Chain A
């Protein structure tokens, strides 16, 4: 608003409301609770009382000062009215160089608490314009964000037929209550942890085994049954925490995660380490035993190995009452990557999970299906034998069985008869999930690409090496084109064909900066290439 337009100054009359609420004889003041302001021309009176936010007349008519009224008093004569206020500032009153300290864009009507002794807290009561409403600002930065994925509108559909039921049970995530074929391992780990919990001591155990052998699942089962025991007061209560080396961005985050899961505190890694050190060293007779599961231990390796050292050192303290169960894939991890003092603290309590045999895999599937009749006997045997021969990985076995049910359902829907999952379905699933696709890729390659592969083999044979430069192969390629009666290709086209073969890794190439002299190697065996090319 332009400064030249004068505002009509409204005459305001101020009157005290009610009787004085307090008196100060020394300073000769009488305190009042509230005051009413009547403005000329307006019918209603505005009332201001202590505790309210008020607008005070200032230089700018459009932006009067905002303050919170604390006290109202008058002097002996009753004529001079004074108000004690707490000032607030608007963003426009904050000096420019300080505005960045906020770190965000302010709301246009936002006011801030002003604490500065240079400004007098006492003002003339007759400069008060009226009361104003304030509301707390909505928090802009998420202080207490809760992690969650939104829920669906309707619950997920339940399995309809036998095959769908079988598929649901065969999913890797539907872990059964008790794992078959791991009874001995379960018992060993159970005994170990139970004895430590009952005695109130600490200890370390190292569990190893190739992926998919049920290590984490068994430990979870042990903990679950121990927790049940603890609820029935058979053994003392204990606290279970779990960390995973792969779910951390840095090995030192282990401290942060353990601290958070133990005491719900957030801290930096160094501070967390210090706090945990204090916690595990300090004597506390009524402390619960803590059972800590460390999955994927090899990722907690650091140069100085201090994370692993601490994890294995804390259980040795008398007052720590910490039982650490570590899981990794290699049996000789302590010998290979740990320095002596760390390995010795880990101790000799080790357990190795062997890969599943075919009988065990069969048992696992049968127990999962649990009377849901969906598979033929031979089909199950075939899958178990095949997977056991290769890796003994239970996950692989379950995934193949699931795929077989899908194939059966799909072919069943076409033939209008859903039966059991048979050998043919299982063999198709095995084919899909075990095969290497190089031969199919070569068969579906274009004419020039196939010729180029032939040229590569021809050049390797000529040189007696497993490597050749593009120029040499190109010469062979031109010769082959002439033989086949095709038009010769230019160097650019030849390079394009070569690059296409390189991008799908049928060939291994050096960088294309080297142009004619990039070296080519075959990623498939020569026999496979010839077999694939012969079949047309």
Chain B
């Protein structure tokens, strides 16, 4: 069971001496279950849905796991497996809802009615008011029975958002149907909140069967490395076997490299999920080109650098010297006054102290110019007012806070192009 990254090599024309290699990385995540998801979880869910489809037994289950742990993928695999069973294929009706799309019970109800193609739907339009739709759906489900009606699978993505709807009407009704002698239904909720059951009202909670499937990734680093190797390797049915052999060989060697392992370990330490891994590998693989057609450690290093860059680093990189000086002044104020909020006047005084005593290269700017620079920092949200509401105080005296951490400022100074030395020294001085 492995997930492969398909690398398509289009049009390698040696004859015309023009080698166009378009490397398209499609991360097809829809293949079978990942190493991290236990087989027994897959079996459990499949068995549950099979019983609903074949025996007409109603059930409800919640799949809980952090973001990127494979909940939707697991469900997709299970549903595909289920639909391959002959008995289930023609019988099961599937309704897919998402808490982010159906933000209200009214919208959700219309969507359910539309997906089930009930009789009050013509084409894509659902007729009737909210009350009528609800009554119609409940009536339809009530008329069914275990042995003769087609079972309905309700998949509710972002289940916790449905619990915020008014009275939790939809959840109550779906779970009530799953516990009554009506049309057999299976209610499958997917969520990332561990405390989702606390969101449910007591009546809804009582009707829920408390079946939970937890998807926690208990991957070790060695297994993670194996997955990386499998992901980067080309599949055996690749059209050019010579190229694929070379590629796979280079990938194996790459994974044994110390620097690469260090980078992968840092990524693994950050988060174990595969989405972040794919972002990293994607950036690395997209650097493969005509001139170098194998993956090298430099690619991964660059990819890691892009991924792990601090979000404010670029912003700081583009500031003017004056603005940078203001930030250093604010940092000094933070250090002196232990993080208390400051105002523009204080920053200006600190800056003036620097100009008078230590600076040689910085021009003596007028106050309005400094104020303008300060306002630019405000716009960039590197500085934020303490109370965001309407303030009756003059602008220079409004209290502010610096949104930068010590390390971020220092790093920005290091990378700043042609930073004057006296500014750097000021930053590193006494309280630096």
Q: Which residues of A contact B (CB under 8 A)?
A: 140-142, 145-159, 164, 167-168, 171-175, 210-212, 246-250, 253, 256-257, 296, 299, 329, 393, 395-396, 399-400, 402-403, 406, 410, 432-434, 436-438, 440-441, 443-449, 471, 474, 478, 486-493, 496-497, 500, 503-506, 515-517, 523
Interface residue B322 (Cβ < 8 Å from any Cβ of A): no
Most buried by B among A141, A212, A249, A478: A249
Q: Give the distance to chain A from B113, nearest Cβ to Cβ, in Å.
A: 10
A497 lies within 8 A of B270 (CB): yes
Sample of 14 A–B contacts (CB below 8 Å): A152-B91, A167-B57, A247-B138, A248-B131, A399-B209, A402-B209, A446-B270, A446-B272, A491-B312, A500-B66, A500-B271, A503-B193, A515-B384, A515-B403
Q: Give the distance to chain B from A91, nearest Cβ to Cβ, in Å.
A: 20
**Complex CA–CA separation, A307 to B67 (angstroms):** 45
**Complex CA–CA separation, A158 to B270 (angstroms):** 50
**Complex CA–CA separation, A264 to B401 (angstroms):** 67
Contacts of B195 in A (CB 8 A): 505, 523
Given A141-B122, A492-B310, A152:B148 Cβ within 8 A: yes
A156 lies within 8 A of B203 (CB): no
**Complex CA–CA separation, A210 to B105 (angstroms):** 26
Q: Give the distance to chain A from B170, nearest Cβ to Cβ, in Å.
A: 10
Given A142-B127, A515-B403, A395:B207 Cβ within 8 A: yes
B181 lies within 8 A of A210 (CB): no
B169 lies within 8 A of A249 (CB): yes
Given A446-B270, A497-B270, A505-B193, A151:B149 Cβ within 8 A: yes
Interface residue B214 (Cβ < 8 Å from any Cβ of A): yes
Q: Give the distance to chain B from A113, nearest Cβ to Cβ, in Å.
A: 24
Interface residue B25 (Cβ < 8 Å from any Cβ of A): no
A257 lies within 8 A of B135 (CB): yes
- Across the interface, A437 reaches (CB within 8 A) one of B64, B130, B151, namely B64
Q: List the A residue with the shortest CB-CB distance to B169.
A: A246
**Complex CA–CA separation, A20 to B134 (angstroms):** 62
**Complex CA–CA separation, A141 to B120 (angstroms):** 8
Q: 11 extra interchain contacts, Cβ-Cβ under 8 A, other than A147-B118, A147-B139, A517-B401?
A: A140-B122, A147-B137, A148-B140, A150-B93, A156-B56, A173-B180, A175-B181, A247-B173, A249-B169, A497-B271, A505-B193
Contacts of B150 in A (CB 8 A): 149-152
Contacts of A156 in B (CB 8 A): 54-56, 146-148, 184
Q: List the B residue with the shortest CB-CB distance to A248.
A: B131
Q: Give the distance to chain B from A395, nearest Cβ to Cβ, in Å.
A: 6
A487 lies within 8 A of B181 (CB): no
| B 120-137 contacts with A by CB, 8 A | 120-122, 127, 130-131, 134-137
Contacts of A150 in B (CB 8 A): 93, 149-150
Q: List the A residue with the shortest CB-CB distance to B149.
A: A149
Interface residue B274 (Cβ < 8 Å from any Cβ of A): no
Q: Which residues of B contact A (CB under 8 A)?
A: 43, 47, 54-58, 64, 66-67, 87, 90-91, 93, 105-106, 116, 118-122, 127, 130-131, 134-141, 143-144, 146-152, 167, 169, 172-173, 176, 179-184, 192-195, 202-203, 205-207, 209-212, 214, 216-218, 266, 268-272, 308-312, 339, 384, 401, 403-405, 407-408
Q: List the B residue with the shortest CB-CB distance to A484.
A: B269
Q: List the A residue with the shortest CB-CB distance to B105.
A: A249
A159 lies within 8 A of B55 (CB): yes
A171 lies within 8 A of B58 (CB): yes
B271 lies within 8 A of A142 (CB): no
**Complex CA–CA separation, A410 to B120 (angstroms):** 43
Q: List the B residue with the shortest CB-CB distance to A470.
A: B405
Q: Give the distance to chain A from B152, nearest Cβ to Cβ, in Å.
A: 7
Contacts of B106 in A (CB 8 A): 249
Contacts of A296 in B (CB 8 A): 203
Q: Give the distance to chain B from A165, nearest Cβ to Cβ, in Å.
A: 11
A491 lies within 8 A of B55 (CB): no
A168 lies within 8 A of B57 (CB): yes
Q: List the A residue with the shortest CB-CB distance to B207.
A: A395
A506 lies within 8 A of B118 (CB): no
Contacts of B266 in A (CB 8 A): 487
B269 lies within 8 A of A447 (CB): yes
Q: Give the distance to chain B from A402, nearest Cβ to Cβ, in Å.
A: 8
Contacts of B122 in A (CB 8 A): 140-142
Q: Give the distance to chain B from A230, nearest Cβ to Cβ, in Å.
A: 23
Q: Give the distance to chain A from B386, nearest Cβ to Cβ, in Å.
A: 9
- Across the interface, B271 reaches (CB within 8 A) one of A246, A432, A449, namely A449
**Complex CA–CA separation, A422 to B268 (angstroms):** 41
**Complex CA–CA separation, A393 to B384 (angstroms):** 52
**Complex CA–CA separation, A247 to B195 (angstroms):** 26
Q: List the A residue with the shortest CB-CB distance to B272.
A: A446
B271 lies within 8 A of A441 (CB): no
Q: Give the distance to chain B from A264, nearest Cβ to Cβ, in Å.
A: 13
B167 lies within 8 A of A299 (CB): yes
Most buried by A among B149, B180, B269: B269
B192 lies within 8 A of A155 (CB): no
B183 lies within 8 A of A149 (CB): yes
